[in-house]
Amino acid sequence: MVRGRTGDPDHGVELLWREGDGGPRSRLSLGRIVRAAVEVAAAEGLAGLSMRKVAERLGFTTMSLYRHVPGRDHLVDLMRDAVLGEPPEPAAESGWRPRLEACARQGWELRKRHPWLAEVRGTRHVPGPNAVAHYECMLSILAGTGLAPSEVIAAVGLVGRFVDAETLALVEAAQAERSSGVSEEEWWGARDSLFARLDRYPTLSFLWEAGGYDRPEEPFEFGLARVLDGIELLIQSRDERRDEISTCHVCGNPVEQPSSGRPRAYCSRACQQRAYRKRRSG
């Protein structure tokens, strides 16, 4: 029985990193509970997920679920790691940009299959082995560039947040359509009273009349390209800086640069100390 440990993150680690399905063999297992929870979330979104609904889908009492998982929060973490275990397609090209783009697209396709993933909010969700494996893969793509370690982590986080934000926009649109029975196109098409008031805004009117809203850019494609462009510019700036200081500032000898992280300006500790003393004396 695991009741009473609902808010214990260490117990979440034990559940997520368990070997096998956990617990004694029975008709109700942790794996079955997680799969049923994924089905509930697929049908009703994360907001519609409850321990009671999962139990009903399985034909068990709610209390019986608590013998395997302490509560909804831990269940969501288990669900997330389970769907992240779906095998990704290997990148067809080499180079950091095609590989990172492939990771982002795979994350996008995964979230379109499981849109409730984007509804998992907050910064205190314990990752399981599949989530860490995905994160490790993305980090390894940028770790060999000229980015500093903190920049690698920030760039990977930026890509991940972009994918989640785009998925969340789809989720919110689908929720609005389900609750109202009216599609996005129909809802906006009926806003004549609003459009009649927009002619006082010249830039908006110009873009409208020029057809800017007739054939809009695809949000995910446009956004992903711009995010990757920004990361590429940063990597290029780091490479250019590394090239500029490829010789020692003191003696002029070649400086062996690290494969990543902060570039070196001196060929040795002795030259670095001489430069320091010169700055102090000057």
DSSP per-residue letters across 35-58: HHHHHHHHHHTGGG--HHHHHHHH
Q: Helix %, strand %, coil % for the chain, to 5?
A: 65, 0, 35
Which of 68 and 7 is assigned the larger pLDDT?
A: 68
Query: How large is the angle between the packed helices 96-113 and 129-143, nearest 10 degrees?
Result: 160
Share of the chain above pLDDT 70, in %: 87
pLDDT at 25 exceeding the cut of 60: no
User: By C-alpha distance, which of 111, 115, 31 is closest to 75?
Assistant: 31
Please name the residues in contact with 139: beta carbons below 8 A apart, sequence gap of 6 or more. Answer: 152, 153, 156
How high is the pLDDT of residue 229? 97
> In which band, very low, low, confident or very high, does the pLDDT at 21 lie, cut at 50, 70 and 90?
low
> In which band, very low, low, confident or very high, does the pLDDT at 261 lie, cut at 50, 70 and 90?
low
Domains of the chain by range and CATH? 9-83 (1.10.10.60), 96-190+216-226 (1.10.357.10), 245-282 (no CATH)
Mean per-residue pLDDT of the chain: 85
Q: Which secondary-structure segment (H or E) carries 82?
A: helix 72-83
Q: How far apart are CA 171 and CA 168, in angstroms?
A: 5
User: By C-alpha distance, which of 113, 121, 119, 216 is closest to 172?
Assistant: 119
pLDDT at 59 exceeding the cut of 90: yes
Q: What is the pTM of this model?
A: 0.75
Q: What is the average pLDDT across 128-138?
A: 91
Residues β-bridged to residue 42: none
Q: How far apart are CA 243 and CA 234, in angstroms?
A: 14
With H, G, I as helix, E, B as strand and everything else as coil, classify residue 103.
Answer: helix
Q: How far apart are CA 253 and CA 249, in angstroms?
A: 8
Which of 45-54, 73-82, 188-197, 251-260 bottoms out in mean pLDDT, i.e. has the lowest?
251-260
pLDDT at 6 exceeding the cut of 70: no
Sign of CA dihedral 66, 71, 77, 79: positive
Q: How far apart are CA 219 and CA 232, in angstroms?
A: 20
> In which band, very low, low, confident or very high, does the pLDDT at 3 lie, cut at 50, 70 and 90?
very low
Q: What is the average pLDDT across 68-93?
A: 85
Q: Tokens 């440990």 label which residue?
A: 5
> In which band, very low, low, confident or very high, does the pLDDT at 4 lie, cut at 50, 70 and 90?
very low
pLDDT at 75 exceeding the cut of 80: yes
Joined tokens for residue 127:
């990752």
How high is the pLDDT of residue 107? 93
**CA distances (Å), origin 212, targets 124, 191, 216, 221:** 41, 18, 6, 17
Residues β-bridged to residue 247: 254
Q: What is the average pLDDT across 123-132?
A: 85
